[in-house]
Protein backbone atom coordinates (compact mmCIF):
# COMPACT_ATOMS: atom_id res chain seq x y z
CA UNK A 1 0.00 0.00 0.00
CA UNK A 2 2.97 2.32 -0.56
CA UNK A 3 1.23 4.41 -3.19
CA UNK A 4 4.13 6.74 -3.93
CA UNK A 5 6.52 3.81 -4.40
CA UNK A 6 4.03 1.94 -6.59
CA UNK A 7 3.60 5.06 -8.73
CA UNK A 8 7.36 5.15 -9.33
CA UNK A 9 7.70 1.40 -9.97
CA UNK A 10 4.79 1.41 -12.42
CA UNK A 11 6.88 3.54 -14.75
CA UNK A 12 9.73 1.00 -14.79
CA UNK A 13 10.23 -2.27 -16.68
CA UNK A 14 9.02 -4.14 -13.58
CA UNK A 15 5.46 -3.18 -14.49
CA UNK A 16 5.65 -5.76 -17.30
CA UNK A 17 6.20 -8.57 -14.79
CA UNK A 18 4.60 -7.43 -11.52
CA UNK A 19 0.88 -6.50 -11.48
CA UNK A 20 1.17 -3.24 -9.55
CA UNK A 21 -2.44 -2.41 -10.50
CA UNK A 22 -3.55 -5.33 -8.31
CA UNK A 23 -1.87 -3.94 -5.18
CA UNK A 24 -5.17 -3.40 -3.35
CA UNK A 25 -6.42 -6.89 -4.23
CA UNK A 26 -3.11 -8.35 -3.04
CA UNK A 27 -3.49 -6.33 0.17
CA UNK A 28 -6.92 -7.89 0.73
CA UNK A 29 -5.62 -11.43 0.14
CA UNK A 30 -2.75 -10.89 2.58
CA UNK A 31 -5.17 -9.47 5.16
CA UNK A 32 -7.45 -12.48 4.75
CA UNK A 33 -4.50 -14.85 5.17
CA UNK A 34 -3.41 -12.94 8.29
CA UNK A 35 -6.92 -13.26 9.74
CA UNK A 36 -7.08 -17.01 9.08
CA UNK A 37 -3.66 -17.67 10.59
CA UNK A 38 -4.51 -15.47 13.58
CA UNK A 39 -7.60 -17.57 14.27
CA UNK A 40 -5.56 -20.78 13.94
CA UNK A 41 -2.88 -19.29 16.22
CA UNK A 42 -5.54 -18.44 18.80
CA UNK A 43 -7.13 -21.88 18.57
CA UNK A 44 -3.73 -23.46 19.20
CA UNK A 45 -3.20 -21.35 22.32
CA UNK A 46 -6.66 -22.22 23.62
CA UNK A 47 -5.55 -25.86 23.58
CA UNK A 48 -2.22 -24.87 25.17
CA UNK A 49 -3.92 -22.98 28.01
CA UNK A 50 -6.10 -25.96 28.80
CA UNK A 51 -3.04 -28.24 28.87
CA UNK A 52 -1.07 -25.78 31.03
CA UNK A 53 -3.97 -25.57 33.49
CA UNK A 54 -3.76 -29.30 34.23
CA UNK A 55 0.04 -29.65 33.99
CA UNK A 56 2.03 -30.13 37.23
CA UNK A 57 4.20 -27.29 38.44
CA UNK A 58 7.32 -29.41 38.09
CA UNK A 59 6.73 -29.66 34.33
CA UNK A 60 5.80 -25.99 33.91
CA UNK A 61 8.96 -24.92 35.73
CA UNK A 62 10.95 -26.79 33.09
CA UNK A 63 8.97 -25.35 30.17
CA UNK A 64 8.82 -21.77 31.51
CA UNK A 65 11.78 -21.42 33.81
CA UNK A 66 11.56 -17.62 33.73
CA UNK A 67 7.96 -17.67 35.01
CA UNK A 68 7.53 -20.69 37.31
CA UNK A 69 9.70 -22.17 40.03
CA UNK A 70 9.18 -25.63 41.49
CA UNK A 71 9.01 -24.35 45.07
CA UNK A 72 5.71 -25.95 46.07
CA UNK A 73 3.70 -22.76 45.46
CA UNK A 74 0.15 -22.91 44.22
CA UNK A 75 -0.25 -23.32 40.46
CA UNK A 76 -2.54 -20.86 38.65
CA UNK A 77 -5.28 -23.12 37.35
CA UNK A 78 -7.64 -20.48 36.00
CA UNK A 79 -7.92 -19.54 32.36
CA UNK A 80 -8.18 -15.86 33.12
CA UNK A 81 -4.66 -15.82 34.55
CA UNK A 82 -3.19 -16.93 31.24
CA UNK A 83 -5.37 -14.58 29.17
CA UNK A 84 -5.55 -11.45 31.33
CA UNK A 85 -2.62 -11.57 33.78
CA UNK A 86 0.20 -12.27 31.36
CA UNK A 87 1.63 -9.94 28.73
CA UNK A 88 1.22 -12.43 25.84
CA UNK A 89 -2.32 -13.27 26.93
CA UNK A 90 -3.55 -9.69 27.40
CA UNK A 91 -1.94 -8.39 24.20
CA UNK A 92 -3.29 -11.43 22.35
CA UNK A 93 -6.85 -10.61 23.44
CA UNK A 94 -6.42 -6.95 22.40
CA UNK A 95 -4.99 -8.01 19.04
CA UNK A 96 -8.02 -10.19 18.36
CA UNK A 97 -10.37 -7.32 19.23
CA UNK A 98 -8.50 -4.91 16.93
CA UNK A 99 -8.44 -7.46 14.10
CA UNK A 100 -12.18 -8.03 14.46
CA UNK A 101 -12.94 -4.29 14.39
CA UNK A 102 -10.69 -3.68 11.37
CA UNK A 103 -12.12 -6.66 9.49
CA UNK A 104 -15.78 -5.80 10.16
CA UNK A 105 -15.44 -2.16 9.10
CA UNK A 106 -13.39 -3.15 6.02
CA UNK A 107 -16.21 -5.26 4.60
CA UNK A 108 -18.01 -3.98 1.52
CA UNK A 109 -21.22 -3.31 3.48
CA UNK A 110 -19.65 -1.09 6.14
CA UNK A 111 -17.47 0.76 3.63
CA UNK A 112 -20.63 1.71 1.75
CA UNK A 113 -22.50 2.69 4.93
CA UNK A 114 -19.67 4.78 6.38
CA UNK A 115 -16.37 5.09 4.57
CA UNK A 116 -15.12 7.41 7.30
CA UNK A 117 -15.60 4.67 9.92
CA UNK A 118 -13.63 2.28 7.72
CA UNK A 119 -10.87 4.84 7.26
CA UNK A 120 -10.57 5.58 10.99
CA UNK A 121 -10.64 1.94 12.15
CA UNK A 122 -8.18 0.92 9.45
CA UNK A 123 -5.60 3.20 11.03
CA UNK A 124 -5.62 0.91 14.06
CA UNK A 125 -2.86 -0.95 12.18
CA UNK A 126 -0.36 1.26 14.07
CA UNK A 127 -1.61 -0.05 17.43
CA UNK A 128 -1.83 -3.54 15.94
CA UNK A 129 1.90 -3.67 15.13
CA UNK A 130 2.86 -2.16 18.47
CA UNK A 131 0.89 -4.86 20.28
CA UNK A 132 2.38 -7.59 18.07
CA UNK A 133 5.88 -6.49 19.11
CA UNK A 134 4.88 -6.41 22.78
CA UNK A 135 3.07 -9.74 22.39
CA UNK A 136 6.31 -11.56 21.63
CA UNK A 137 8.66 -9.43 23.76
CA UNK A 138 7.90 -11.48 26.87
CA UNK A 139 9.74 -14.42 25.25
CA UNK A 140 7.49 -16.89 27.02
CA UNK A 141 8.18 -19.69 24.52
CA UNK A 142 11.04 -18.40 22.33
CA UNK A 143 13.04 -15.27 21.63
CA UNK A 144 11.06 -12.71 19.57
CA UNK A 145 11.88 -12.63 15.86
CA UNK A 146 9.04 -10.55 14.43
CA UNK A 147 11.20 -7.43 14.20
CA UNK A 148 13.49 -9.22 11.71
CA UNK A 149 10.64 -9.40 9.17
CA UNK A 150 8.97 -6.15 10.18
CA UNK A 151 11.67 -3.49 10.27
CA UNK A 152 12.50 -3.20 6.53
CA UNK A 153 8.85 -3.06 5.27
CA UNK A 154 8.05 -0.65 8.13
CA UNK A 155 10.85 1.70 7.10
CA UNK A 156 9.73 1.64 3.45
CA UNK A 157 6.09 2.25 4.37
CA UNK A 158 7.04 4.95 6.89
CA UNK A 159 9.09 6.80 4.28
CA UNK A 160 6.19 6.56 1.83
CA UNK A 161 3.77 8.01 4.41
CA UNK A 162 6.18 10.80 5.30
CA UNK A 163 6.34 11.75 1.63
CA UNK A 164 2.55 11.95 1.53
CA UNK A 165 2.42 13.99 4.74
CA UNK A 166 4.99 16.44 3.41
CA UNK A 167 2.57 17.40 0.63
CA UNK A 168 0.08 18.73 3.17
CA UNK A 169 2.28 21.79 3.52
CA UNK A 170 1.65 22.80 -0.09
CA UNK A 171 -0.98 25.53 -0.26
CA UNK A 172 -3.27 25.44 -3.31
CA UNK A 173 -5.45 28.40 -4.18
CA UNK A 174 -9.07 27.73 -5.16
CA UNK A 175 -9.65 28.94 -8.71
CA UNK A 176 -13.36 28.12 -8.94
CA UNK A 177 -15.97 26.46 -6.73
CA UNK A 178 -19.50 25.48 -7.68
CA UNK A 179 -22.08 23.91 -5.36
CA UNK A 180 -24.22 21.45 -7.30
CA UNK A 181 -27.84 20.77 -6.19
CA UNK A 182 -27.14 17.26 -4.89
CA UNK A 183 -23.56 17.77 -3.74
CA UNK A 184 -22.17 17.31 -0.23
CA UNK A 185 -18.47 18.17 0.30
CA UNK A 186 -15.23 17.82 3.84
CA UNK A 187 -12.49 18.39 0.79
CA UNK A 188 -9.04 16.65 1.06
CA UNK A 189 -6.45 16.25 -1.67
CA UNK A 190 -3.57 13.80 -1.67
CA UNK A 191 -1.31 12.87 -4.53
CA UNK A 192 -0.56 12.76 -7.33
CA UNK A 193 -0.59 8.98 -7.51
CA UNK A 194 -0.27 6.97 -10.68
CA UNK A 195 -2.34 3.90 -11.51
CA UNK A 196 -3.16 1.62 -14.44
CA UNK A 197 -5.56 4.04 -16.09
CA UNK A 198 -2.75 6.45 -16.91
CA UNK A 199 -1.71 4.17 -19.79
CA UNK A 200 -4.86 4.89 -21.82
CA UNK A 201 -2.90 6.96 -24.35
CA UNK A 202 -0.60 4.03 -25.23
CA UNK A 203 -3.33 2.24 -27.21
CA UNK A 204 -4.76 3.20 -30.60
CA UNK A 205 -8.22 2.39 -29.23
CA UNK A 206 -9.06 2.70 -25.53
CA UNK A 207 -12.26 1.86 -23.66
CA UNK A 208 -12.88 3.61 -20.34
CA UNK A 209 -15.58 2.12 -18.10
CA UNK A 210 -16.52 4.04 -14.97
CA UNK A 211 -19.19 3.13 -12.44
CA UNK A 212 -20.21 5.04 -9.31
CA UNK A 213 -17.39 6.98 -7.75
CA UNK A 214 -15.10 5.01 -10.08
CA UNK A 215 -15.63 7.65 -12.78
CA UNK A 216 -13.23 9.96 -10.91
CA UNK A 217 -9.99 8.92 -12.71
CA UNK A 218 -11.74 9.14 -16.07
CA UNK A 219 -12.88 12.68 -15.31
CA UNK A 220 -9.20 13.58 -15.13
CA UNK A 221 -8.53 11.82 -18.43
CA UNK A 222 -11.41 13.62 -20.13
CA UNK A 223 -10.17 16.96 -18.80
CA UNK A 224 -6.72 16.10 -20.13
CA UNK A 225 -8.27 15.40 -23.54
CA UNK A 226 -9.98 18.80 -23.49
CA UNK A 227 -6.64 20.48 -22.77
CA UNK A 228 -4.74 18.55 -25.46
CA UNK A 229 -7.47 19.30 -27.99
CA UNK A 230 -7.24 23.00 -27.22
CA UNK A 231 -3.51 23.05 -28.01
CA UNK A 232 -3.78 20.66 -31.00
CA UNK A 233 -1.56 18.09 -29.31
CA UNK A 234 -0.98 14.86 -31.24
CA UNK A 235 -2.03 11.64 -29.54
CA UNK A 236 -1.19 8.02 -30.27
CA UNK A 237 -4.76 7.15 -29.28
CA UNK A 238 -7.07 7.47 -32.28
CA UNK A 239 -10.39 6.61 -30.62
CA UNK A 240 -11.68 6.59 -27.04
CA UNK A 241 -14.93 5.01 -25.88
CA UNK A 242 -16.12 6.21 -22.50
CA UNK A 243 -18.85 4.14 -20.82
CA UNK A 244 -20.43 5.85 -17.83
CA UNK A 245 -22.52 3.52 -15.65
CA UNK A 246 -24.67 5.35 -13.09
CA UNK A 247 -27.91 4.81 -11.19
CA UNK A 248 -29.03 8.29 -12.18
CA UNK A 249 -27.22 11.11 -13.93
CA UNK A 250 -27.93 13.41 -10.96
CA UNK A 251 -25.47 11.40 -8.85
CA UNK A 252 -22.51 12.93 -10.68
CA UNK A 253 -23.65 16.21 -12.19
CA UNK A 254 -20.09 17.49 -12.27
CA UNK A 255 -19.15 14.73 -14.73
CA UNK A 256 -21.93 15.80 -17.10
CA UNK A 257 -20.32 19.24 -17.23
CA UNK A 258 -16.96 17.68 -18.15
CA UNK A 259 -18.56 15.54 -20.88
CA UNK A 260 -20.30 18.64 -22.24
CA UNK A 261 -16.94 20.42 -22.37
CA UNK A 262 -15.43 17.45 -24.24
CA UNK A 263 -18.28 17.49 -26.75
CA UNK A 264 -17.73 21.20 -27.43
CA UNK A 265 -13.97 20.87 -28.01
CA UNK A 266 -13.77 17.41 -29.64
CA UNK A 267 -13.87 18.50 -33.27
CA UNK A 268 -12.21 15.32 -34.53
CA UNK A 269 -14.75 13.03 -32.82
CA UNK A 270 -12.02 11.35 -30.83
CA UNK A 271 -14.32 10.51 -27.89
CA UNK A 272 -17.52 8.46 -28.06
CA UNK A 273 -19.55 8.58 -24.82
CA UNK A 274 -22.22 6.07 -23.81
CA UNK A 275 -24.23 6.65 -20.64
CA UNK A 276 -26.04 3.75 -18.98
CA UNK A 277 -28.66 4.60 -16.36
CA UNK A 278 -29.16 1.46 -14.28
CA UNK A 279 -31.99 2.75 -12.08
CA UNK A 280 -34.48 1.90 -14.81
CA UNK A 281 -35.57 -1.65 -15.64
CA UNK A 282 -33.30 -3.61 -17.96
CA UNK A 283 -36.19 -5.52 -19.49
CA UNK A 284 -38.33 -3.90 -22.14
CA UNK A 285 -41.44 -3.20 -20.10
CA UNK A 286 -43.90 -0.49 -21.15
CA UNK A 287 -42.20 2.23 -19.12
CA UNK A 288 -38.71 1.54 -20.47
CA UNK A 289 -40.02 1.21 -24.03
CA UNK A 290 -41.68 4.63 -23.83
CA UNK A 291 -38.50 6.14 -22.43
CA UNK A 292 -36.51 4.65 -25.30
CA UNK A 293 -38.95 6.11 -27.83
CA UNK A 294 -38.85 9.57 -26.22
CA UNK A 295 -35.08 9.53 -25.85
CA UNK A 296 -34.41 8.45 -29.44
CA UNK A 297 -36.90 11.03 -30.80
CA UNK A 298 -35.34 13.80 -28.71
CA UNK A 299 -31.87 12.73 -29.83
CA UNK A 300 -32.93 12.75 -33.48
CA UNK A 301 -34.67 16.14 -33.40
CA UNK A 302 -32.37 18.17 -31.12
CA UNK A 303 -29.23 16.01 -31.26
CA UNK A 304 -29.05 15.73 -27.47
CA UNK A 305 -30.34 13.52 -24.69
CA UNK A 306 -33.66 14.22 -23.00
CA UNK A 307 -32.21 13.07 -19.64
CA UNK A 308 -28.68 14.47 -19.62
CA UNK A 309 -28.82 17.33 -22.10
CA UNK A 310 -25.71 15.87 -23.76
CA UNK A 311 -25.11 14.70 -27.31
CA UNK A 312 -23.87 11.41 -25.85
CA UNK A 313 -26.10 8.37 -26.27
CA UNK A 314 -28.14 7.43 -23.20
CA UNK A 315 -29.05 3.78 -22.57
CA UNK A 316 -31.18 2.15 -19.90
CA UNK A 317 -30.02 -0.84 -17.85
CA UNK A 318 -26.58 -2.36 -17.55
CA UNK A 319 -24.09 -2.22 -20.42
CA UNK A 320 -23.77 -5.41 -22.55
CA UNK A 321 -19.97 -5.54 -22.53
CA UNK A 322 -19.53 -8.63 -24.72
CA UNK A 323 -21.59 -7.32 -27.68
CA UNK A 324 -20.05 -3.86 -27.28
CA UNK A 325 -16.46 -5.11 -27.29
CA UNK A 326 -17.28 -7.48 -30.13
CA UNK A 327 -18.51 -4.55 -32.22
CA UNK A 328 -15.21 -2.74 -31.66
CA UNK A 329 -13.39 -5.57 -33.43
CA UNK A 330 -15.57 -4.94 -36.48
CA UNK A 331 -15.25 -1.15 -36.35
CA UNK A 332 -11.45 -1.28 -35.90
CA UNK A 333 -10.26 -4.39 -37.76
CA UNK A 334 -6.76 -2.95 -38.18
CA UNK A 335 -6.20 -2.63 -34.41
CA UNK A 336 -4.54 -5.67 -32.80
CA UNK A 337 -4.63 -4.53 -29.17
CA UNK A 338 -7.36 -2.53 -27.42
CA UNK A 339 -6.87 -1.06 -23.96
CA UNK A 340 -9.76 -1.50 -21.54
CA UNK A 341 -9.72 0.45 -18.27
CA UNK A 342 -12.48 -0.06 -15.71
CA UNK A 343 -12.97 1.47 -12.30
CA UNK A 344 -15.93 1.01 -9.98
CA UNK A 345 -17.79 -1.68 -8.02
CA UNK A 346 -16.29 -5.22 -8.09
CA UNK A 347 -19.36 -6.59 -9.89
CA UNK A 348 -18.87 -4.20 -12.79
CA UNK A 349 -15.12 -4.76 -13.15
CA UNK A 350 -15.68 -8.54 -13.04
CA UNK A 351 -18.20 -8.23 -15.88
CA UNK A 352 -15.67 -6.28 -17.92
CA UNK A 353 -12.95 -8.85 -17.16
CA UNK A 354 -15.25 -11.72 -18.14
CA UNK A 355 -16.09 -10.03 -21.45
CA UNK A 356 -12.39 -9.42 -22.21
CA UNK A 357 -11.47 -13.02 -21.43
CA UNK A 358 -14.25 -14.39 -23.61
CA UNK A 359 -13.34 -12.22 -26.60
CA UNK A 360 -9.62 -12.88 -26.19
CA UNK A 361 -10.32 -16.52 -27.02
CA UNK A 362 -11.04 -15.39 -30.56
CA UNK A 363 -8.27 -14.85 -33.08
CA UNK A 364 -8.92 -11.11 -33.33
CA UNK A 365 -7.99 -7.98 -31.38
CA UNK A 366 -6.65 -8.57 -27.88
CA UNK A 367 -8.35 -6.70 -25.01
CA UNK A 368 -5.83 -5.67 -22.32
CA UNK A 369 -7.83 -5.02 -19.16
CA UNK A 370 -6.65 -2.78 -16.30
CA UNK A 371 -9.00 -2.28 -13.37
CA UNK A 372 -9.43 -0.78 -9.94
CA UNK A 373 -12.28 -1.44 -7.50
CA UNK A 374 -14.03 1.01 -5.18
pLDDT number for residue 302:
66
Does the pLDDT of residue 10 top 70, yes or no? Answer: yes
**For range 311-322, the mean pLDDT:** 82
Is pLDDT at 281 greater than 60 in this prediction?
no
Separation CA 324–CA 77 (nearest Å):
69
- Taking each helix axis from N to C end, the angle separating 346-359 and 321-331, rounded to the nearest 10 degrees, works out to 40
Quickly list H helices, 10-107.
Answer: 23-53, 57-63, 79-84, 87-106
Which pLDDT score is estimated for 105? 93
Instruction: Report pLDDT digits (tens) over 298-310.
Output: 667 666 766 666 7
User: Is residue 272 scored above 90 in pLDDT?
Assistant: no
**pLDDT tens profile 188-241:** 666 666 666 777 888 899 999 998 878 888 888 888 877 776 666 677 788 899
| For the ranges 78-82, 146-150, 210-214, 274-278, the one whose mean pLDDT is highest | 146-150
User: What share of the chain has pLDDT > 90, as a percent?
Assistant: 25
What pTM was estimated for this model as a whole?
A: 0.64
- Please provide the CATH number assigned to the domain covering 196-373: 3.40.50.80
Determine the pLDDT at residue 321: 92
Within 13 Å, how many C-alpha atoms sit on residue 368's CB side? Answer: 17
H-state helical runs in 146-233 = 146-166, 216-230
d(CA 79, CA 13) in angstroms, rounded, equals: 55
Distance CA 139, CA 136 (A): 6
As annotated, the residues of the chain forming the CATH 3.40.50.80 domain(s) are: 196-373
What average pLDDT does the structure give for the chain? Answer: 81
Amino acid sequence: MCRNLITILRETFLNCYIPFDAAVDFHRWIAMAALIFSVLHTAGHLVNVYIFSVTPLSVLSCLFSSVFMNDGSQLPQKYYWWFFQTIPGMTGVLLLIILAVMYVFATHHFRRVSFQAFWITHHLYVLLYVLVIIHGSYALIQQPRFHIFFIIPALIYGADKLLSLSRKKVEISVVKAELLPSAHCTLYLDGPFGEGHQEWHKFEVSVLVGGGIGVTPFASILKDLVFKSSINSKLMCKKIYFIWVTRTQRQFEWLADIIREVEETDRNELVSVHIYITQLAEKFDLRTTMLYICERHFQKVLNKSLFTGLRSITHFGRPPFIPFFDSLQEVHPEVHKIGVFSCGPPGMTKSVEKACQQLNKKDQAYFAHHYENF
